[in-house]
Amino acid sequence: MLDILLDAVTALFAPATAAFALAAIGLNFHFGLTGLLNMGHAGFMLLGMYGYAISTQNGLPIYVALVIGVLAAAAFGLLLGWPTLKLRGDYLAIATISAAELIRYLGRSNSLQALTGGSTGIRGSDFKFTFEELSPLPDENITILFWTNHGTKSSSWWLHIVAWVIVLLFALLFWQLARSPWGRVLKGIREDEDAVRSLGKNVYAYKMQALVLGGVIGALGGILWALGNSVQPDSMGRPTTFWLWTLLLLGGAATVFGPILGSMIFWSALVIVKGLSSAFIPTSVLSPVELEPFSLVLVGVTLMCLVVFRPQGILGNKRELAFND
């Protein structure tokens, strides 16, 4: 029992949790502020990962690799937004979900094997070294209370610190932008874009800015995730996008800490559900292989309950969401 609890606390602060929180902050710019239905956020993440990892493999310094990852996501956003943002919201959803799948299929295709590593992807050791070289922490295992992590390698204390500092910086950025006049225009667009047009604002340009900014933040989330794992196209499929939506709605869309809280709860709940079901459900009923899908089914049920009983999420403002006409 104590093990499960300990694992859950580990998941609360894991770099992967931070990576999803960051990507969800990007999605919060899309959906929470602007009302854009981006159903392909994993595609932005994957592009960022590829941009970063491939650049590093080819000997570019870390800052250049970061810029390339970010530019890839920005170009993707511009390309997707250009034809769809003049249309009704549903078209963006359709375009993003298929474009994200397109990126994943391109990445895992044999013809791009030399560049992307095909379906096996790019091994962590091929692109993590520039980040690990920057670590000021000692090159050994460090134990703090119950937790032992390496100082610099892979899911290291170094990555923990960097990931959460970045998440907090972007939460700060969201807070600052959401309360600025710029954020006010986006909220207006979320409510009714024709009204905002009639007040003299260039709605198309604002939607494009939000799409690109959120996509770039998603790409940075992808890079953080890759630094703790590897670049693997199938880990950034549709389920990833839906998990991001789940944890954003769970925490509370349009709030500053919603994506962070949502990601923490989502990942630790997954650990607890997995731990409890492996402890209490005999293997004759549920084999270990089926545990993972089973916990995800429970997550799906949770999301449905959430949308029915608390549509504003944990931190969301009930009053703000009460008007839906």
Partner 1 sequence: MTDPFADVPHEPGAPKPDPIVIADHVHRHFGGLTAVDVEHFEVQRNQITALIGPNGAGKSTFFNLLTGFDKPQTGEWQFNGHSLVGTSPAKIARAGKVRTFQLTKALNRMTVIENMRLGAADQRGEKFFQALVPGLWKQREKDITEKADVLLKRFKLYEKKDDYAGSLSGGQRKLLEMARALMSDPEMIMLDEPMAGVNPALTESLLEHVVELRDEGKTVLFVEHDMHMVRRIADWVVVMAEGKIIAEGPANTVMANKAVQDAYLGAHHDTDLSEDAS
Q: Which residues bind partner 1 (CB under 8 A)?
A: 173, 176-177, 180-185, 187-188, 190-192, 194-203, 209, 213, 319-323, 325
Residue 253 or 265: the one with the smaller Cβ distance to partner 1 is 253
Rounded to a whole number of angstroms, the minimum distance from the CB of residue 155 to partner 1 is: 33
Residue 141 or 176: the one with the smaller Cβ distance to partner 1 is 176
Rounded to a whole number of angstroms, the minimum distance from the CB of residue 170 to partner 1 is: 13
| Beta carbons of 273 and 295 less than 8 angstroms apart | yes
Q: Among residues 43, 38, 41, which one has the least CA distance to residue 90?
A: 38
Rounded to a whole number of angstroms, the minimum distance from the CB of residue 204 to partner 1 is: 9
Q: Which two tokens stand for residue 46?
A: 């994957």
Residue 239 or 318: the one with the smaller Cβ distance to partner 1 is 318
* Helices vs. strands in the chain: H and E counts, helices first: 15, 2
Give CA–CA dist 98/112, Å, rounded: 19
Residue 197 or 238: the one with the smaller Cβ distance to partner 1 is 197
How far is residue 117 from each of residues 232, 234, 320, measured CA to CA in Å?
A: 9, 12, 47
Rounded to a whole number of angstroms, the minimum distance from the CB of residue 36 to partner 1 is: 16
Q: Among residues 167, 221, 214, which one has the least CA distance to residue 23?
A: 221
Secondary structure class of 4 (helix, strand, coil): helix
First CA to last CA across the chain, in angstroms? Answer: 47
Rounded to a whole number of angstroms, the minimum distance from the CB of residue 82 to partner 1 is: 16
Residues in the chain, overall count: 325
Rounded to a whole number of angstroms, the minimum distance from the CB of residue 172 to partner 1 is: 11
How far is residue 272 from each of residues 8, 223, 229, 261, measured CA to CA in Å?
A: 6, 26, 21, 16
Rounded to a whole number of angstroms, the minimum distance from the CB of residue 74 to partner 1 is: 13
Residue 11 or 315: the one with the smaller Cβ distance to partner 1 is 315
Residue 280 or 319: the one with the smaller Cβ distance to partner 1 is 319
Q: Which two tokens stand for residue 235?
A: 């880990």
Residue 191 or 292: the one with the smaller Cβ distance to partner 1 is 191
| Beta carbons of 232 and 41 less than 8 angstroms apart | no
